[in-house]
Chains A and B, each alone.
Chain A
Amino acid sequence: MTSEYDFLKKFLKSRSGLVLSDEKQYLVESRLMPVARRHNLNGLSELILAISKPGSMSLQNDVVEAMTTNESFFFRDKSPFENFRNVMLPHLLEARKSRRSARIWCAAASTGQEPYSLSMYLKEDKAKVGSFRFEILGTDISTEVLEKARTGIYSQFEVQRGLPIQMLLKYFSQQGELWQMAPEIRAMVQWRKLNLLENFSHLGEFDIIFCRNVLIYFDQQTKIDVLNRIYRQLPDDGFLVLGAAETVVGLTDGFEPYPNLRGVYRKKQAASRPAGSTSFTRSTATSPSTPGTTRPTIQALAGGSRFSA
């Protein structure tokens, strides 16, 4: 099993960035045996042999999907959503008031609870939001979870983890044992398959990027690379939200913790930059409307393949 496990480790690292530590070996069997059965393969050895062959793309995708963790729930960890509602949202409503639009990206959105939680808060605050337009994009490496996210159908267990009962009544309709997100909430989010290891500059600029509980699966170099590329998608006053156990400390000098908001980061501000730094010349106030900044709409992205990497 050792050389097979090593092969699998290398395969997952190169395909999804996932670092499979040796203590995670127990996961391999429970996650991959169902995949092997679905493809009529007799056990893990046959499965691993099969993905090493050319032309096994669909099997390879299934293996990556099965091994990437998809746990998610509504309003997970609470504080990121409170911060969104109390700080980020008021900031954007004010700072983008002439443009009247802002863009939010939930990277590694899994089964959709995170973008839908944001959408529900936007609906709750509709008196403040008014005609200001928010585009929310949810991406994930897994087609299967995105399909579920798109339908917005959740089990009784899923709707009870983190979702207040009043919101369940308000924003879901019951279908037997299942609950479906209301059409007006679903319509607020666009979905797109995306591997964070690949180029994502074509997605354009986002005012807020949620990238929670995905960097923890990457090795140091991959974390740095992803953070550096996220940096380029944010305006100077943009927000980066990481998971509760994640940090930029020791990974990049570009970001600093947002004062008093746990898990929220911003681009390093002028005063705290080293003297002589030339890479941060745009002022916070003007950057969002800087001429030439590319901001393709999500509709445009969803509409065609011309933006594909």
Chain B
Amino acid sequence: MKKCLVVDDSSVIRKVARRILEDIGFEITEAEDGQKALDACKASMPDAVLLDWNMPVMDGLEFLAKLREEDGGEEPVVVFCTTENDVAHITKAIRAGANEYIMKPFDREILSAKFQEVGLV
């Protein structure tokens, strides 16, 4: 079963994303900020990361940059999932190594479609 790390400071968002991603066949772990997510990745690289942008301690973009520097950190497929919905933010995320980008609010269809897009479903 493919592993997906859901990173968001909102427990509601984590719960919603978990439910949808479990339904399409992922095993889910959660983290509430970038630092905790990075620690989790160092312990065990997931196949995918669903990543919020604005979070306390370490934001999503910083996490992504650090992840890509890690050994094996280029492997996980990273899907941003954020309220930041302008071209400048999206471009920045893609340049930093994100594979896909979801603009909140999202629903089951968007999340499934995006994970299909990156070839994980």
Contacts and interface: CB of A to CB of B under 8 A. Distances in A.
Nearest to B114: A160
Interface string A60-95: 000000000000010000100000000000000000
A167 to B, nearest CB: 10
B94 A165 contact: yes
Contacts of B110: 157, 160-161
Interface residues of B, number: 18
Interface residues on A, range: 10 to 19
B101 interface: yes
A214 B109 CA distance: 22
10 contacts: A156-B103, A157-B107, A160-B106, A161-B109, A164-B100, A165-B101, A165-B117, A169-B91, A169-B94, A174-B86
Contacts of B109: 161
A168 B91 CA distance: 11
A173 B98 CA distance: 20
- For the residues of B in contact with A, the DSSP-based class is helix
B113 interface: yes
A166 interface: yes
A7 to B, nearest CB: 35
Contacts of A168: 90
A174 B86 CA distance: 7
Contacts of A162: 113, 117
B102 A160 contact: yes
Contacts of A78: 116
Interface string A81-113: 000000000000000000000000000000000
Interface of A: 73, 78, 156-157, 160-162, 164-166, 168-169, 174, 177
Q: Which 7 A-B pairs have the closest CB atoms?
A: A165-B101, A160-B110, A161-B113, A174-B87, A165-B100, A156-B103, A164-B117
B11 interface: no
Interface of B: 85-87, 90-91, 94, 100-103, 106-107, 109-110, 113-114, 116-117
Given A156-B85, A157-B110, A174-B86, A166 B103 contact: no
Most chain B CB within 10 A, of A156, A165, A169, A174, is at A165
A160 B79 CA distance: 13
B87 A160 contact: no
Contacts of A161: 109-110, 113
Contacts of A160: 102-103, 106, 110, 113-114
Contacts of B94: 165-166, 169
A157 B90 CA distance: 16
Contacts of B103: 156, 160
A165 B114 CA distance: 9
A160 B104 CA distance: 10
A169 B106 CA distance: 18
A169 B89 CA distance: 11
Contacts of A73: 113
A73 B87 CA distance: 21
Contacts of A177: 85
Given A78-B116, A156-B103, A157-B110, 9 more contacts: A73-B113, A160-B113, A161-B109, A161-B110, A164-B100, A165-B90, A166-B94, A169-B91, A169-B94
A165 B110 CA distance: 12
A209 to B, nearest CB: 26
A73 B94 CA distance: 23
Nearest to A74: B113
B114 to A, nearest CB: 7
A109 B91 CA distance: 31
Contact of A169 (B85, B87, B102, B107): B87
A177 B110 CA distance: 16
A163 to B, nearest CB: 8
A177 B105 CA distance: 12
